[in-house]
A and B are shown apart, each in its own frame.
Chain A
Amino acid sequence: MTGELIHALTVADPLVGFDTAALVDNFWALTVDGLTYGSVYALVAVGYTLVYGVLRLINFAHSEVFMLGMFGQYAVLMMLGFAPSGNAYNLGVTMTVVYLAIALVGGMAVSGGVAVGLERVAYRPLRKRGAQPLAFLITAIGASFVLQEFVHFILPRLTGDRLGGVNAQQPIRLVVPETQFTLFTANITNVTIIIILSALILALATDMFINRTKFGRGIRAVAQDPVTATLMGVSRERIIVLTFLIGGLLAGAAALLYTLRVPNGIIYSGGFILGIKAFCAAVLGGIGNLRGALLGGLLLGVMENYGQVLFGTEWRDVVAFVLLIAVLMVRPTGILGESLARSRA
């Protein structure tokens, strides 16, 4: 499928193509692949949207929480004895699932830990001092660079050059993409199935947690009215930690899923663009709105996949941002609006 795609793209016009034939021919394949990317965006977007709902803060360092999740799951696989190589392991279905699950938990633990640590070290001291919103924003950007450069320069020294540094990690391939069946005209691979199914389960679990459980209600209460929530006996500080934790856990899970689709993506700068796109997805769906983030992620993934075939691969990122701008011009609060936060009644 990828081969056909690249062929279709190379025959496109030099600057901006408009290859409707390629889009039509590959429509279902592009949709399915867009959904796999979209699943990753969606999970990462939840972290932006929940933190924004509770703190009115865009946590720009969330992209690095995701990036460290990629390294986290990679490190766990190394500890389990897997060696990086160009070749794929063939462990059989059961063992592959077991190792993927362990790596998933590893990625989630690292990202969750980093997100909570970030809150503790970077944001809480600012809150204690009653800092201006701008100070939080600058701190978030600063934290983002600190985490990137940590992986860039310090992590290789701590691990004897086995992790981090200037180059991407050589992949540890547990799953080789193999077509399982064909849906419409799209070949559905095992990787696609794992990504979409896992993301779906995690999204449903998160939605249940936020909408059906006591602490989920606590998060919504703090988002809607922090003072009244406090009067109900909710500790705002604990809710903030919980929010960062959930966002981190989902980013860590997304990190593992992403490396299945893009095995060469594990690099210190690998969270940056993806993080911005996930942030776009959150705004697209309506920042502060959980279901908005999930919907925005999927939509963004699919649309940019269509766009890159229609206009040319190099326009992929442009499509994402143009889509965001176009939607915000029509609906400034995003597709679903800010429902987790204030009601507009």
Chain B
Amino acid sequence: MTVAYGRIEALHGISLTVEEGELVTLIGANGAGKTTTMRAISGVHPLARGSIIFDGQDVTRMKPHLRVHAGIIQAPEGRGVFAGMTVMENLEMGCFARTFKTKAEHDETVERVFTFFPRLAERRTQVGGTMSGGEQQMLAIGRALMARPRLLLLDEPSMGLAPMIIQQIFRIISEINKQGTTVLLVEQNAQQALSRSDRAYVLETGTVVRTGPGKTLLADPAIKDAYLGVA
């Protein structure tokens, strides 16, 4: 797919595949086009050329909110927590597109989110804008889980967080994936992301330059040099 902002192409014909059940990571420097890729998959940025196929269906021209109905759920860069809403209200926003058959089904979904993030259960009535960065990230992921994603897009969940919290967030992402949710992760924290992914793509100025299993890339000297900060 190719994505352009105005007349400037941000992505030049990149091709990504995520298989069901996988955890796939997209790494790359600032401005490489990671967030643009995520926005294009969610449909909030239009494609200039190319196509997006989800579950055998061409969703290239599908409206963004209908992609959510189809199961493509994103926790956006910068978390996008609704600052004026409480934790519970944010979670309810997560399942805006979903119709629960019973109240019990709704409550189960909330409970599942609280099992992943017990902190959110303690803070139900706190207003999103007053929470710490780590808590907001938990809320953003928890909110995405409310929609029961078939493909979960996580855009830089580690951004601006303390190392301890980053560890915790990544452990939970692995756990979510193990429980059967397909995850496409965008990260600058390559070490953590690569060690936990099935496969990874390396993006440079709008082009995929490397791809392979996460652990293979982690051992690659060129990748180490560029993204892992090892001299």
A binding-site residues for B, Cβ under 8 Å: 214, 217-218, 220-221, 224-225, 227-235, 339-340, 342-343, 345
Contacts and interface: CB of A to CB of B under 8 A. Distances in A.
Interface stretch (B14-22, B50-58, B74-82, B162-170): B74-82
A232 B97 contact: yes
B194 to A, nearest CB: 26
A192 B68 CA distance: 49
A230 B44 contact: yes
Contacts of A224: 82-85
Interface stretch (B86-94, B183-191, B207-215, B218-226): B86-94
A230 B82 contact: no
Interface in B168-221: none
Nearest to A230: B64
B80 A235 contact: no
A235 B97 CA distance: 9
Q: 7 closest Cβ contacts across the A-B interface?
A: A233-B97, A233-B68, A228-B80, A343-B83, A345-B129, A235-B65, A343-B84
A234 B94 CA distance: 10
A264 to B, nearest CB: 43
Best-surrounded residue of B44, B84, B98 (most CB of chain A within 10 A): B84
B30 interface: no
Nearest to A238: B65
Contacts of A228: 76, 80, 82
B83 A221 contact: no
Contacts of B68: 231-233
A339 B129 CA distance: 12
B96 interface: yes
Interface in B8-43: 42
B93 A232 contact: yes
A323 B68 CA distance: 47
Nearest to A231: B74
A264 B97 CA distance: 48
Contacts of A235: 63, 65
A225 B143 CA distance: 15
B130 interface: yes
Interface in B104-162: 127, 129-130, 143, 147
A220 B98 CA distance: 18
B143 A232 contact: yes
Contacts of B74: 231
Best-surrounded residue of A221, A231, A232 (most CB of chain B within 10 A): A231
A231 B64 contact: yes
Contacts of B44: 227, 230-231
Given A214-B92, A231-B42, A234-B65, A225 B97 contact: no
Contacts of A340: 84
29 contacts: A214-B92, A217-B96, A218-B96, A220-B84, A221-B82, A224-B82, A224-B84, A224-B85, A227-B76, A228-B76, A228-B82, A230-B44, A231-B42, A231-B64, A231-B68, A231-B74, A231-B80, A232-B93, A232-B97, A233-B65, A233-B68, A233-B69, A233-B96, A233-B147, A234-B65, A234-B93, A234-B96, A343-B84, A343-B127
Nearest to A229: B93
A234 B96 CA distance: 7
A248 to B, nearest CB: 24
Given A228-B80, A229-B93, 7 more contacts: A214-B96, A217-B89, A230-B65, A231-B80, A232-B143, A235-B65, A343-B127
B146 to A, nearest CB: 9
Given A232-B93, A232-B94, A345-B130, A225 B64 contact: no
Contacts of B147: 232-233
A292 to B, nearest CB: 13
Given A225-B80, A235-B63, A217 B92 contact: yes
Contacts of A229: 93
B157 to A, nearest CB: 14
Given A231-B44, A231-B76, A225 B92 contact: no
Contacts of A218: 93, 96
A343 B65 CA distance: 24
B7 to A, nearest CB: 15
A343 B130 CA distance: 10
A62 to B, nearest CB: 24
B96 A343 contact: no
Nearest to A339: B84
A217 B93 contact: yes
B95 to A, nearest CB: 8
Nearest to B129: A345
A235 B62 CA distance: 12
A220 B65 contact: no
B63 A227 contact: no
